[in-house]
């Protein structure tokens, strides 16, 4: 698989064209950013680890009926994906209070919700990815009302499947961010990645609130042992066979 023209370079990935216009090649970088790229750094081996973790999780979700953009992983840090039109919406699902939700609402860190919370953010770095209301999302024509309903339903279904998967890994899925794209037929597909860069993951073997963190919060808050945490997630994820 040879990479063609570079189409887009983001903070953590580069997207290349391929000789098939319906297929793109995603290259996962070791670069890490946080706080809207105000903090920059590198996590050694992250590209390969996130590519492998995302691959396994997309395969697992596909086996359970979720349509994704994932095709295959021709190289350790490269994934072939279906070309989709990415919706400029970040769909965040939260099971436990953390991060910006705690800062913006005062809900204490670690509060477990009776029902998962689904939120939509505007994927727009210049505006700082603001939280959207449904009406603002529709006003901006970022999606149709039917698509918003489908995004919400898919996000909740994916949350159920991923929460169960991580539970089997001894990991609590605290919250995560999803992105979706439209294929040529206008169907919504799960896109982007699912990795410790985009999820909050807490080690169930550890109770200390700093030690239990297995995700990008280790980088965001300089908690140390970032690579070790990602490696631990990778090992536990890969140890779970894909199940229908
Ligand atoms: N997230 C992400 N990309 C973003 C913003 C958030 O992957 O641009 C993920 C983040 O890793 C966490 C969840 O979405 O798992 C919720 O993030 P939150 O809104 O709490 O923002 P943060 O505290 O990360 O700024």
22: exposed, middle or buried (C-beta count within 10 Å: 0-12, 13-18, 19+)? exposed
The domain 85-225 belongs to what CATH superfamily?
Answer: ATP-grasp fold, B domain (3.30.470.20)
Domain locations in the chain? 6-82, 85-225
Amino acid 1: pLDDT: 58
Indicate whether residue 199 lines ligand 1 (CB < 6 A). Answer: yes
Span 6-82: which CATH code?
3.30.200.20
State the pLDDT at residue 3: 77
Q: Rounded CA gap, 235 and 241, in Å?
A: 12
Report pLDDT for 177: 98
State which ligand 1 atom lies nearest to the alpha carbon of 102. 20
Ligand 1 within 6 A of CB of 174: no
Distance between CA atoms of 55 and 62, rounded to whole angstroms?
10
- Our answer on whether the CB atom of 177 is closer than 6 Å to any ligand 1 atom is yes
Spatial separation of the C-alpha atoms in residues 63 and 195, rounded to whole Å: 18
Decide if 109 contacts 101 (C-beta within 8 A): no
**What is the structure's pLDDT at 61?**
98
Q: Is 216 in the pocket of ligand 1 (CB under 6 A)?
A: yes
Among protein residues, the one whose CA lies closest to atom 19 of ligand 1 = 100
Q: What string of H, E and C letters represents the secondary structure of the chain?
A: CCCCCEEEECCCEEEEECCCCCEEEEEECCEEEECCCCEEEECCCHHHHHHHHHHHHHHHHHHCCCCECEEEEEECCEEEEECCEECCEEEEEEEECCHHHHHHHCCCCCCEEEEEEEEEEECCHHHCCCEECHHHHHHCCCCCHHHHHHHHHHHHHHHHHHHHHHHHCCEEEEEEEEEEEECCCCCEEEECCCCCCCEEEEECCCCCCCCCECCCHHHHCCCCCHHHHHHHHHHHHHCCCCCC
Query: pLDDT tens across 93-105, in order?
Result: 999 999 999 999 9
How many other C-beta atoms lie within 10 A of the C-beta of residue 89?
A: 22
Distance (Å, whole) CA 28 – CA 45 = 10
* Residue corresponding to tokens 């920059």: 40
Low-confidence ranges of the chain (pLDDT < 70): 1-2
Encode pLDDT of 50-99 as tens digits.
Answer: 999 999 999 999 999 999 999 999 999 999 999 999 999 999 999 999 99
- On whether the CB atoms of residues 76 and 46 are closer than 8 A, the answer is no
With a 6 Å cutoff on the Cβ, whether 89 touches ligand 1 is no
Place of tokens 């973790």: 53
CA of 18 relative to ligand 1 center, distance in Å: 30
Q: What is the pLDDT of residue 211?
A: 98
The CB of 99 under 6 Å from ligand 1? The reply is yes
Q: How far is the CA of 129 from the centre of ligand 1 (A)?
A: 10
Nearest to 134 by CA among 125, 126, 122, 124: 122
At 105 the pLDDT is 98
Q: Whose CA is nearest to atom 25 of ligand 1?
A: 100
Q: Which of 70, 60, 26, 68 is nearest to 180 (CA)?
A: 68
């Amino acid at each position: 698989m040879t990479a063609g023209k570079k189409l887009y370079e983001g903070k953590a990935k580069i997207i290349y064209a391929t000789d098939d216009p319906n297929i793109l090649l995603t290259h996962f970088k070791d670069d890490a950013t946080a706080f809207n790229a105000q903090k920059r750094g590198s996590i050694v081996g992250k590209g390969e680890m996130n590519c492998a973790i995302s691959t396994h999780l997309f395969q697992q979700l596909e086996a359970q009926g979720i349509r994704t953009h994932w095709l295959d992983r021709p190289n350790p840090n490269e994934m072939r994906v279906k070309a989709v039109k990415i919706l400029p919406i970040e769909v965040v699902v939260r099971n436990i209070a953390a991060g910006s939700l705690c800062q913006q609402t005062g809900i204490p860190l670690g509060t477990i919700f009776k029902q998962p919370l689904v939120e939509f953010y505007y994927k727009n770095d210049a505006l700082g990815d603001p939280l959207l209301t449904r009406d603002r999302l529709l006003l901006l024509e970022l999606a149709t009302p039917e698509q918003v309903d489908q995004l919400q339903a898919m996000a909740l279904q994916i949350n159920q499947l991923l929460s169960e998967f991580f539970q089997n890994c001894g990991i609590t899925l605290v919250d995560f961010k999803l992105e979706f794209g439209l294929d040529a037929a206008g169907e919504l597909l799960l896109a982007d990645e699912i990795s410790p860069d985009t999820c909050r993951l807490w080690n169930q073997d550890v109770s200390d609130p700093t030690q239990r963190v297995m995700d990008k919060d280790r980088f965001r808050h300089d908690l140390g042992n970032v690579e070790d945490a990602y490696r631990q997630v990778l090992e536990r994820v890969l140890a779970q066979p894909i199940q229908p």
